C-alpha cells in the first residue's frame, strides 16, 4: 500500500480513534482511487483536480450509487487534507469537487407492537440463547446503543444501581445513556446463563458479553444473527430487523412520544443535530398518513361518506 495512505490510516487510528472497520473502509476506497491513478502513471499523492474529476465521473458511468460516490469523495478529501497538513503537497485536488446529491434517507422503524413481539421471541430462542438475545435486544432498543457500543461494554458497565452508564461511541467519544431496570435484569440473567458450567470456557473478565471470538466479546455478526432468528420466530420479516433498526426504533418512538431533538441528539451520540433531525421527517410522513387515513375531509374518506349516503 502507498506509504502516504499508510500514514493517513495510522493517523485515523491514533488521533481520531477510528474503529478497525472504519479504517478498512477508508483503505478500500483509497485503494480504488490509487488503481485509477496507476493506470495513468501518476502517484496518488500527486493527483490533480482533473484526475479526481475523471475518477468520480467513472464511478457514475460504472453505475455506482450516489451514496458510494459521495463516500469515496469524502475519503479522498480527508486523505488530501491530511497530506496538505503534513506538508506533502500544497493544495487539495478535491477542493472544487462537488459531492453527488443524495436521495433522502429515512430510517425504517419497527412499530412498538413489533418490538414487543421481537422481545418475546428473543426470550424464547432455544439452546440457551434466549437470555442473551433478550439482553441485547433490551439494550439496543431501550438505550439506543449502536451494536459496536453494545458488544464493547466492559464487564463492570452495569455494576451498581446508577440509572446511567458510560458508553464509548464513534471516535472514542463517551456519553451517558440510560439503562432500564428490565434491561439490567435481562443482562444479569444472560450473565447467569453464561456462567453455567457447560459455558464457563467462554467467560472473560473484560467484557459484559464475553465469547470465544478472537475479540473476546460477542461479535456484531452474532448479534445480527440472533435478531434475525428472533424476527423469524416472531413472524417478522428478518430483512427488516437489525441492530441499526432497533436504534432507529428507539429514536422514532421517543420522538413520537414527545421527546425533544436536543435530548435525542445526546442519547444517540450524534455530533451534529442535523443528523438527528432526519427523525422529524419520519414523524412528518407518519402524521401525513394518519391525516390521509382518518380525517373526514380526506379524499378517501369523503368517497366512503358518499357511498354510505
The answer for residues whose C-beta is within 8 angstroms of residue 143's C-beta and 6 or more apart is: 177, 178, 179, 180, 183, 250, 267
Q: Check whether 308 has a pLDDT greater than 50.
A: no
- Mean of pLDDT values over 65-82: 91
Same domain, 50 and 146: no
Same domain, 130 and 64: no
Same domain, 123 and 46: no
List residues bridging with 177 in a β-sheet: 165
Same domain, 78 and 176: no
Same domain, 207 and 250: yes
Catalytic (active site) residue 170: yes
Task: Pick the catalytic residue from 36, 129, 217, 270.
Answer: 270
Catalytic (active site) residue 247: yes
> Each residue of 253-299: pLDDT tens digit?
998 888 888 999 999 998 888 778 877 776 666 666 667 776 777 67
The total of structural domains in the chain comes to: 2
Catalytic (active site) residue 244: yes
> Each residue of 9-37: pLDDT tens digit?
999 988 888 888 889 999 999 999 999 99
Amino acid 201: pLDDT: 45
Same domain, 146 and 38: no
Q: Which of 268, 151, 132 is nearest to 220 (CA)?
A: 151
Same domain, 127 and 259: yes
Q: Check whether 202 has a pLDDT greater than 50.
A: no
Catalytic (active site) residue 220: no
Same domain, 167 and 263: yes
Same domain, 37 and 145: no
Please give the model's pTM, rounded to 2 decimal places. 0.63
> Each residue of 147-157: pLDDT tens digit?
999 999 999 89
CATH number for 280: 1.10.443.10
Amino acid at each position: 500500500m502507498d506509504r502516504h495512505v499508510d500514514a493517513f490510516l495510522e493517523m485515523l487510528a491514533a488521533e481520531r480513534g477510528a474503529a478497525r472497520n472504519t479504517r478498512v473502509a477508508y483503505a478500500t476506497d483509497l485503494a480504488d482511487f490509487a488503481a485509477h491513478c496507476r493506470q495513468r502513471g501518476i502517484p496518488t499523492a500527486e493527483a490533480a483536480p482533473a484526475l479526481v474529476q475523471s475518477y468520480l465521473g467513472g464511478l457514475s458511468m460504472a453505475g455506482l450509487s450516489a451514496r458510494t460516490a459521495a463516500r469515496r469523495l469524502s475519503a479522498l478529501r480527508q486523505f488530501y487534507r491530511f497530506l496538505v497538513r503534513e506538508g506533502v503537497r500544497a493544495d487539495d485536488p478535491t477542493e472544487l469537487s462537488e459531492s453527488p446529491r443524495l436521495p433522502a434517507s429515512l430510517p425504517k422503524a419497527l412499530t412498538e407492537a413489533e418490538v414487543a413481539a421481537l422481545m418475546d421471541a428473543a426470550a424464547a430462542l432455544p439452546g440457551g440463547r434466549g437470555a442473551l438475545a433478550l439482553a441485547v435486544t433490551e439494550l439496543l432498543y431501550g438505550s439506543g446503543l449502536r451494536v459496536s457500543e453494545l458488544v464493547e461494554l466492559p464487564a463492570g458497565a452495569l455494576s451498581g444501581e446508577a440509572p446511567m452508564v458510560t458508553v464509548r461511541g464513534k471516535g472514542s467519544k463517551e456519553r451517558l445513556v440510560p439503562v432500564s431496570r428490565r434491561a439490567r435484569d435481562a443482562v444479569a440473567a444472560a450473565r447467569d446463563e453464561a456462567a453455567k458450567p457447560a459455558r464457563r470456557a467462554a467467560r472473560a473478565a473484560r467484557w459484559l458479553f464475553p465469547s470465544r471470538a478472537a475479540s473476546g466479546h460477542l461479535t456484531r455478526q452474532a448479534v445480527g444473527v440472533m435478531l434475525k432468528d428472533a424476527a423469524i420466530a416472531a413472524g417478522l420479516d428478518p430483512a427488516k430487523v437489525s441492530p441499526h433498526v432497533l436504534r432507529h426504533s428507539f429514536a422514532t418512538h421517543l420522538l413520537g412520544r414527545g421527546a425533544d431533538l436536543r435530548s435525542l441528539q445526546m442519547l444517540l451520540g450524534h455530533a451534529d443535530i442535523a443528523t438527528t433531525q432526519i427523525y422529524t421527517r419520519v414523524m412528518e410522513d407518519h402524521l401525513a398518513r394518519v391525516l390521509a387515513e382518518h380525517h373526514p375531509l380526506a379524499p378517501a374518506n369523503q368517497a366512503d361518506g358518499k357511498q354510505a349516503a
